[in-house]
Structure 1
Amino acid sequence: MKVVRRVTQLAETFLDSHLHLQMDEFEFEKKKEDYISTLRENDVRILNIVGYDLESSEKSFNIKFPDDFEVYHFVGIHPHYALKYKNEEILEIEKLLERKDCTGLGEIGIDLFWHKSDEIENQKELFIKQLDIARRKKKPVMLHVRNGYDEVLEIIEGYKDLVFEFHSFSGTKEQLEIIFSKKYFFGINGILTFKNNDLKEILNKKHLARMLIETDSPYLTPVPFRGKRNTPEKVIYIYKRVSELFGIDIKDLKRIIRENFYEFIGKKS
């Protein structure tokens, strides 16, 4: 009976598909009980903790929650480290992917917003090395893309056997339609709540079929908390904005996002 009740409870909870709770600024071990209490109060109990380099990927497995939570782990090396990473780190990422509690690879990709275009070959090299690992390990891939959508879409055409999610989508309407037509997933976060954002103009109700909802905490804090550090319970404000935008009941939206996430990671609902 306890198992049935837990499944029922989690079927009604909010899910945060991308956060970085292992970052030092969260001081998770020191404030663990406060975080757990706040997440329970807000009914946010499915969490996906994402790495961005070897250290953060390893540290994510130290984040422990009680049994009434579902916690997933993605590991990978962000394009920011394309000029800094060592091949030994790639090998260690591959080892982490062999863990039973490791869900997928990410966040990886191409970022031409913060980085000079002359770095793109280094970023592509790092990206492809990790995609090859995902293929060998048969793992889903969470993508980080800024100003590099065309490049990433071209590269992943060669990996049709993999499942992809474009975390923190910020591309064009045309790029979103390509992502949707290819049945890739994409993540929406606090950007949707900002006064000046293009997302609300290019999203429509059909896109719910491939959408995930995330905080990307501690970044991209949603309205009405802009200027403060983002935390995972604030994901509820993104759900509320999506609910308002498409006229969909929150309970139904929770179900859709949960089912999308489970499909992305290859888990049965």
Structure 2
Amino acid sequence: MIWIDTHAHLYSPEFDPDRSEMVTRAIRQGVNRLLMPNIDEDSIPGMLSLEAEFPEECLPMMGLHPCYVKENVEVQLAIVQDWLSKRKFWAIGEIGLDFYWDKTLLDQQYAAFRQQIRLAIEHQLPIAIHSREATRACIDVVKELHNGSLTGVFHCFSGTKEEAQEIIDMGFYLGIGGVVTFKKAGLDVLMTDIDLQHVVLETDAPYLAPVPYRGKRNESAYIPLIAQKLADVKNLKIEEVAAITTGNARKLFKMH
């Protein structure tokens, strides 16, 4: 089976002791594409270094995460724009809104989100959306700027069934990770009514490890654990989950 991890922060300090071995473990599990969302200007060197080590497997995105937005957001966005003009990236991400941690720079968050959507449209790239406690707001911004061809994924989807349908109707995918294995999260119940044609798999490594590793460091090799839970919920074979979700990821990120 072939898998794609559509969202993993493999450059994070949590992987400093065994980064190469961690990537190799994922590849051995059949996870042969690992998409890396960027956070801010400081995460770019580590991300590109990992791409250089694993050029076929570790694929970088470019973007400014809402939790890392600063008051001088224009300077940060100029860096994003400059990188996009210089080389290939697979998506604009991780972008969006976060109403959980700190709301003092909400205006800057909104400005960064809108500007990066415009960059995605300009460069014809998908977007990877962070929407922690902000799913409704993120949907509204995407609808506001959608040009008919914009696409992407709502990473770590945690909204309602109605919001899921709105996202699907916009031509976007739901990013499903370890949370689907958490007993009280309710995501497994929600997924019973959602066709896998609208789903891509992700880990968000090193965060949100699936059961039985919950609370420990997550890594891309755990993608099959997430897939098995979906297979159980949907009453499918895991091979079917692999074929559908990998096909979706290839389509979304234009992996011809």
TM-score with structure 1 length normalisation? 0.87
Deviation track 1:194-221 (CA, whole Å, cap 9, x = no partner) reads 1111212222364201101111000001
**Is 2:78 the partner of 1:91?**
yes
2:211 to 214, 219, 223: 223
**Is 2:35 the partner of 1:48?**
yes
Summarize the Cα distance change of 1:15–1:168 in structure 2 as closer, same or farther, 3 Å threshold.
same
**Is 2:153 the partner of 1:165?**
yes
Distance 2:238 2:82 in 1: 39
> 1:99 Cα shift?
4.6
> 1:247 Cα shift?
1.5
Conservation of the 8 A alpha-carbon contact between 2:3 and 2:30: yes
Alignment of 1:41-120 (within 5 A): 41-63=28-50, 64-66=52-54, 69-116=56-103, 119-120=105-106
Deviation track 1:214-241 (CA, whole Å, cap 9, x = no partner) reads 1100000111011211111111110111
Distance 1:159 1:128 in 2: 11
- Number of the residue aligned with 1:18: 7
Conservation of the 8 A alpha-carbon contact between 1:50 and 1:57: no
- Number of the residue aligned with 2:107: 121
- Number of the residue aligned with 1:7: none
Which structure 2 residue ranges, 5 or more long, are not aligned?
none
TM-score with structure 2 length normalisation? 0.91
1:31 to 1, 18, 28: 18
**How many residues in Structure 1 have an aligned counterpart in Structure 2?**
253
Name the stretch that deviates more: 123-132 or 99-108: 99-108
Give 1:197's aligned amino acid.
A
- Number of the residue aligned with 2:223: 235
Summarize the Cα distance change of 1:61–1:159 in structure 2 as closer, same or farther, 3 Å threshold.
same
Alignment of 1:202-221 (within 5 A): 202-204=190-192, 206-221=194-209
Summarize the Cα distance change of 1:52–1:90 in structure 2 as closer, same or farther, 3 Å threshold.
same
- The structure with the largest alpha-carbon Rg is 1
> 1:65 Cα shift?
4.4
Percentage identity across paired residues of the two chains? 26
Name the stretch that deviates more: 32-41 or 228-237: 32-41
Distance 1:182 1:234 in 2: 29
Distance 2:106 2:239 in 1: 42
Name the stretch that deviates more: 237-246 or 76-85: 76-85
- Name the Cα RMSD after superposition: 1.9
DSSP 3-state at the match of 2:118: helix
> 1:60 Cα shift?
1.0
Distance 1:95 1:262 in 2: 26
> 1:71 Cα shift?
2.7
Give 1:44's aligned amino acid.
V
DSSP 3-state at the match of 2:85: coil
Conservation of the 8 A alpha-carbon contact between 2:9 and 2:205: yes
Which structure 1 residue ranges, 5 or more long, are not aligned?
1-11
- Number of the residue aligned with 2:127: 141
DSSP 3-state at the match of 2:153: strand
